[in-house]
Amino acid sequence: MATSAGPDHVLIWMRDASLADRLRRGLEPYGFATTWAASLPEAIAAIDREFPCAVACTLRGRTPSLMDLETVSAYLTLGHRFVSLPQVPIWAYTPNPSRYADETEVLGLPVRLMPCEAGLEGLIQDMLSALRPKPAAAAVPARPACAEPLPVLLVLSNAGEASFLARYLRARHIGVRVAAGLEDALGWLGRCPFGAVVAEESGDDPRGRALWQAAAQATPAPPIVLIASGHGWLRRAAPESLPRGIACTLRKPIRAQILEACLRRLLRIPSAVGAAPVRAAS
């Protein structure tokens, strides 16, 4: 069932393959790509692989259970040392919403309980109303489309973390080029223009200072999003020693949604079609 990842991707998490297929076919005409997961490990793997905008699941006292939903919610926040993923709104298709309403409210889970009596069409329409709200009437004429934004240069010491964050940003339609270390980043800055540089603090390393100098001398000079550990060079650096062009500083673990918002502002990329927060409801 998997197709392309991105802001229009929905994770369908349920044991019933036939029901999952019917929901997939119901979402498809509205442009949603889907991935089916039948178990908790499959759901977590799909979240890391596809970065879906929402989850549609069943809630019938077994997998996926309320504890499974709580586990996924915690995993998004705490599952990675380097990156904290945004909470995913969850639509739970259940025959007994009142059974779970109080618990989801107490746990603060982003779950909307949808009664089975509403049918799959009711579930789909409720998802559409939140994921694709009708745009307000334009007060001014729409501006013409701009040129494709320049990509982001990602410079992180851990290759696995860099790859994971790059996949998240690409799924959100932000172009990324990953540098294999500071020397590789210097080479890319000398050859290609970039819209922004995301780099870890490296003021104690001469190559880090060379990277910031190269970024300041590039045309156009890309703003720098500095990733701080909280106990490194940046904490004791004098203000006059800070590199030119710093747009903002983020501390580890990075909230992926915050980094995405920063880069959208820096690159002038409109917000992607996203999911509004969903409160538990019976």
Q: How confident is the model at residue 232 (pLDDT cuts 50, 70, 90)?
A: low
Q: Is the distance from CB of 5 to CB of 50 less than 8 angstroms? A: yes
One domain, residues 17 and 126? yes
pLDDT of residue 200: 84
Q: Which residues of 157-167 are buried (b: 16+ CB within 10 A; e: fewer)?
A: eeeebbebbbb
Within a domain: 106? yes
One domain, residues 191 and 105? no
Which CATH number fits the domain that encloses residue 197? Answer: 3.40.50.2300
One domain, residues 177 and 125? no
Within a domain: 145? no
One domain, residues 100 and 204? no
Within a domain: 211? yes
Within a domain: 277? no
pLDDT of residue 149: 86
CA distance 257 to 262: 9
Domain boundaries, position 156: 152-267
One domain, residues 158 and 225? yes
One domain, residues 249 and 165? yes
CA distance 127 to 119: 13
Within a domain: 143? no
Within a domain: 257? yes
Q: Is the distance from CB of 263 to CB of 196 less than 8 angstroms? A: yes
- What is the C-alpha R_g of the chain? 21
CA distance 228 to 2: 36
Q: Is the distance from CB of 21 to CB of 54 less than 8 angstroms? A: no
Q: Where are the alpha helices (DSSP H) in the chain?
A: 17-27, 40-50, 66-78, 97-107, 119-131, 159-171, 182-191, 206-217, 233-236, 256-267
Mean pLDDT of 92-113: 93
Write down which residue in 131, 162, 184 finishes a domain: 131
CA distance 218 to 220: 5
One domain, residues 127 and 212? no
One domain, residues 26 and 127? yes
User: What's the pTM?
Assistant: 0.80
CA distance 244 to 140: 37
Q: CB neighbours (10 Å) of residue 22?
A: 13
Q: What is the pLDDT of residues 257-270, one digit of tens each?
A: 999 999 999 998 88
One domain, residues 201 and 246? yes
Within a domain: 280? no
Question: Based on the structure, what is the number of domains in the chain?
Answer: 2
Write down which residue in 131, 166, 193 finishes a domain: 131
Residues in the chain: 282
One domain, residues 197 and 90? no
One domain, residues 224 and 258? yes
The percent of residues in the chain predicted with pLDDT above 90, rounded, is 54
Residue 50 has which token pair? 């596809």
Q: What is the pLDDT of residues 242-254, one digit of tens each?
A: 667 888 888 888 8
Write down which residue in 131, 162, 187 finishes a domain: 131
Within a domain: 138? no
Task: List the beta bridge partners of residue 13.
Answer: 37, 57
Q: CB neighbours (10 Å) of residue 218?
A: 17
